[in-house]
Amino acid sequence: MGNKSSLLLRQEEIAQIQDETGFTPNQIERLYSRFTSLDRTDCGTLSRDDFLRIPELAINPLCDRIVHAFFADSNDERVNFRQFMKVLAHFRPIKAGKTNILNNRQEKLKFAFKMYDLDDDESISRDELLNILHMMVGANISQDQLISIAERTIMEADQCGQGKISFEDFCKALDRCDVERKMSIRFLN
Protein backbone atom coordinates (compact mmCIF):
# COMPACT_ATOMS: atom_id res chain seq x y z
CA MET A 1 0.00 0.00 0.00
CA GLY A 2 1.30 3.46 -0.84
CA ASN A 3 5.07 3.33 -1.29
CA LYS A 4 6.36 0.23 -2.99
CA SER A 5 9.90 -0.44 -1.86
CA SER A 6 10.44 -2.77 -4.82
CA LEU A 7 9.80 0.14 -7.20
CA LEU A 8 12.09 2.77 -5.66
CA LEU A 9 13.77 5.27 -7.96
CA ARG A 10 17.50 4.98 -8.43
CA GLN A 11 19.69 8.08 -8.26
CA GLU A 12 20.44 7.81 -12.01
CA GLU A 13 16.71 7.82 -12.77
CA ILE A 14 16.17 10.86 -10.56
CA ALA A 15 19.03 12.66 -12.34
CA GLN A 16 17.62 11.78 -15.78
CA ILE A 17 14.12 12.94 -14.82
CA GLN A 18 15.60 16.13 -13.38
CA ASP A 19 17.42 16.81 -16.68
CA GLU A 20 14.28 16.08 -18.72
CA THR A 21 11.79 18.00 -16.59
CA GLY A 22 13.61 20.54 -14.45
CA PHE A 23 12.08 19.24 -11.22
CA THR A 24 14.36 19.08 -8.18
CA PRO A 25 15.26 15.66 -6.75
CA ASN A 26 13.06 16.39 -3.72
CA GLN A 27 10.10 17.28 -5.95
CA ILE A 28 10.67 14.12 -8.00
CA GLU A 29 10.66 11.98 -4.86
CA ARG A 30 7.46 13.64 -3.56
CA LEU A 31 5.72 13.20 -6.92
CA TYR A 32 6.91 9.60 -7.08
CA SER A 33 5.32 8.97 -3.71
CA ARG A 34 2.05 10.44 -4.98
CA PHE A 35 2.34 8.43 -8.20
CA THR A 36 2.86 5.14 -6.33
CA SER A 37 -0.07 5.89 -4.02
CA LEU A 38 -2.29 6.15 -7.12
CA ASP A 39 -0.95 2.88 -8.56
CA ARG A 40 -3.42 0.37 -7.17
CA THR A 41 -2.02 -2.53 -9.22
CA ASP A 42 1.57 -2.07 -7.97
CA CYS A 43 2.87 -2.41 -11.53
CA GLY A 44 4.59 0.99 -11.72
CA THR A 45 2.06 2.50 -14.15
CA LEU A 46 -1.24 4.37 -13.98
CA SER A 47 -4.42 3.79 -15.96
CA ARG A 48 -7.03 6.37 -16.90
CA ASP A 49 -9.14 5.12 -13.99
CA ASP A 50 -6.25 5.78 -11.59
CA PHE A 51 -6.22 9.42 -12.71
CA LEU A 52 -9.98 9.70 -12.39
CA ARG A 53 -9.68 8.76 -8.71
CA ILE A 54 -7.80 12.01 -8.02
CA PRO A 55 -10.52 14.15 -6.38
CA GLU A 56 -9.10 17.50 -7.55
CA LEU A 57 -8.97 16.23 -11.10
CA ALA A 58 -12.35 14.50 -11.04
CA ILE A 59 -14.13 17.80 -10.31
CA ASN A 60 -12.35 19.70 -13.08
CA PRO A 61 -14.68 20.24 -16.06
CA LEU A 62 -11.80 19.44 -18.41
CA CYS A 63 -10.88 16.26 -16.53
CA ASP A 64 -11.15 14.02 -19.60
CA ARG A 65 -8.93 16.33 -21.67
CA ILE A 66 -6.34 16.59 -18.90
CA VAL A 67 -6.22 12.82 -18.47
CA HIS A 68 -5.98 12.46 -22.25
CA ALA A 69 -2.84 14.63 -22.16
CA PHE A 70 -1.07 12.01 -20.05
CA PHE A 71 -1.80 9.36 -22.69
CA ALA A 72 -1.42 11.48 -25.85
CA ASP A 73 2.17 10.42 -26.55
CA SER A 74 1.68 6.81 -25.51
CA ASN A 75 0.13 3.93 -27.42
CA ASP A 76 -0.39 2.11 -24.15
CA GLU A 77 -3.35 2.18 -21.82
CA ARG A 78 -1.02 2.91 -18.94
CA VAL A 79 1.49 5.68 -18.14
CA ASN A 80 4.80 5.16 -16.38
CA PHE A 81 6.38 7.61 -13.95
CA ARG A 82 8.67 9.22 -16.52
CA GLN A 83 5.69 9.93 -18.85
CA PHE A 84 3.75 11.28 -15.87
CA MET A 85 6.60 13.66 -15.01
CA LYS A 86 6.97 14.91 -18.59
CA VAL A 87 3.34 16.02 -18.62
CA LEU A 88 3.61 17.64 -15.18
CA ALA A 89 6.72 19.54 -16.34
CA HIS A 90 4.50 21.71 -18.53
CA PHE A 91 3.03 23.16 -15.34
CA ARG A 92 6.28 24.07 -13.61
CA PRO A 93 6.62 27.80 -13.06
CA ILE A 94 9.17 29.33 -15.39
CA LYS A 95 12.16 30.78 -13.57
CA ALA A 96 14.56 33.21 -15.21
CA GLY A 97 17.37 31.30 -16.89
CA LYS A 98 15.99 27.90 -15.87
CA THR A 99 13.64 26.79 -18.63
CA ASN A 100 13.87 23.43 -20.30
CA ILE A 101 12.42 21.89 -23.42
CA LEU A 102 9.09 21.06 -21.71
CA ASN A 103 8.76 24.23 -19.68
CA ASN A 104 8.73 27.31 -21.85
CA ARG A 105 6.04 29.52 -23.34
CA GLN A 106 5.91 27.62 -26.64
CA GLU A 107 5.49 24.21 -24.97
CA LYS A 108 2.86 25.54 -22.58
CA LEU A 109 0.94 26.92 -25.58
CA LYS A 110 1.25 23.59 -27.42
CA PHE A 111 -0.11 21.79 -24.39
CA ALA A 112 -3.06 24.21 -24.08
CA PHE A 113 -3.75 23.96 -27.81
CA LYS A 114 -3.97 20.17 -27.55
CA MET A 115 -6.64 20.56 -24.87
CA TYR A 116 -8.89 22.14 -27.52
CA ASP A 117 -7.82 20.05 -30.51
CA LEU A 118 -10.09 17.10 -29.76
CA ASP A 119 -9.40 15.17 -32.98
CA ASP A 120 -5.62 15.87 -33.01
CA ASP A 121 -5.73 17.34 -36.53
CA GLU A 122 -3.57 20.36 -35.64
CA SER A 123 -6.50 22.80 -35.72
CA ILE A 124 -9.43 23.81 -33.54
CA SER A 125 -12.75 23.74 -35.34
CA ARG A 126 -15.94 25.48 -34.32
CA ASP A 127 -17.37 22.15 -33.10
CA GLU A 128 -14.27 21.36 -31.05
CA LEU A 129 -14.38 24.78 -29.43
CA LEU A 130 -18.09 24.34 -28.81
CA ASN A 131 -17.46 20.97 -27.14
CA ILE A 132 -14.79 22.44 -24.87
CA LEU A 133 -17.01 25.39 -23.96
CA HIS A 134 -19.79 22.98 -23.17
CA MET A 135 -17.45 20.99 -20.89
CA MET A 136 -16.38 24.17 -19.12
CA VAL A 137 -19.74 25.84 -18.53
CA GLY A 138 -22.20 22.97 -18.81
CA ALA A 139 -25.80 24.13 -18.76
CA ASN A 140 -24.97 27.55 -17.30
CA ILE A 141 -25.10 29.16 -20.75
CA SER A 142 -27.61 28.44 -23.48
CA GLN A 143 -26.59 26.51 -26.59
CA ASP A 144 -27.21 29.61 -28.73
CA GLN A 145 -24.86 31.65 -26.55
CA LEU A 146 -22.18 28.95 -26.73
CA ILE A 147 -22.49 28.81 -30.52
CA SER A 148 -22.19 32.60 -30.67
CA ILE A 149 -19.06 32.55 -28.47
CA ALA A 150 -17.46 29.74 -30.53
CA GLU A 151 -18.20 31.42 -33.85
CA ARG A 152 -16.98 34.82 -32.69
CA THR A 153 -13.81 33.27 -31.26
CA ILE A 154 -13.08 31.45 -34.52
CA MET A 155 -13.76 34.61 -36.52
CA GLU A 156 -11.45 36.74 -34.36
CA ALA A 157 -8.61 34.22 -34.05
CA ASP A 158 -8.62 32.69 -37.56
CA GLN A 159 -5.97 34.72 -39.42
CA CYS A 160 -6.07 32.62 -42.61
CA GLY A 161 -9.83 32.54 -43.12
CA GLN A 162 -10.02 28.72 -42.93
CA GLY A 163 -12.87 28.64 -40.44
CA LYS A 164 -10.68 27.06 -37.77
CA ILE A 165 -7.85 28.03 -35.46
CA SER A 166 -4.33 26.88 -36.28
CA PHE A 167 -1.59 26.70 -33.68
CA GLU A 168 -0.13 29.94 -35.06
CA ASP A 169 -3.55 31.62 -34.74
CA PHE A 170 -3.83 30.28 -31.20
CA CYS A 171 -0.43 31.70 -30.25
CA LYS A 172 -1.28 35.11 -31.74
CA ALA A 173 -4.61 35.19 -29.91
CA LEU A 174 -2.79 34.52 -26.63
CA ASP A 175 0.12 36.84 -27.38
CA ARG A 176 -0.68 39.21 -24.51
CA CYS A 177 -1.78 36.49 -22.11
CA ASP A 178 0.59 35.58 -19.28
CA VAL A 179 0.59 31.88 -20.20
CA GLU A 180 3.78 31.30 -18.23
CA ARG A 181 2.03 32.25 -14.98
CA LYS A 182 -1.46 30.96 -15.75
CA MET A 183 -0.21 27.51 -16.68
CA SER A 184 1.94 27.09 -13.61
CA ILE A 185 1.40 25.04 -10.48
CA ARG A 186 3.64 25.54 -7.49
CA PHE A 187 5.27 22.22 -6.62
CA LEU A 188 6.57 22.02 -3.07
CA ASN A 189 10.27 21.35 -2.58
CB atoms within 10 A of CB 77: 10
Sequence-ordered list of residues with C-beta below 8 angstroms from that of 176, at least 6 positions apart, any chain: none
The CATH superfamily assigned to 11-91 is EF-hand (1.10.238.10)
Residue 181 buriedness (CB in 10 A; 0-12 / 13-18 / 19+): exposed
Which pLDDT tens digits describe the chain residue by residue (189 residues)? 444 434 578 999 999 999 989 899 999 999 999 999 999 888 899 999 999 988 888 898 989 898 998 888 767 789 999 999 999 998 888 776 665 677 788 989 999 999 999 999 999 999 999 999 999 998 889 999 999 999 999 999 999 899 999 999 999 999 999 988 888 877 765
Looking at residue 72, its pLDDT comes to: 81
CATH class name, domain 105-182: mainly alpha
pLDDT at 76: 78
Question: What was the pLDDT predicted at 125?
Answer: 96
Q: For the chain, what are the domain ranges?
A: 11-91, 105-182
Same CATH topology for 11-91 and 105-182: the answer is: yes
pLDDT of residue 1: 41
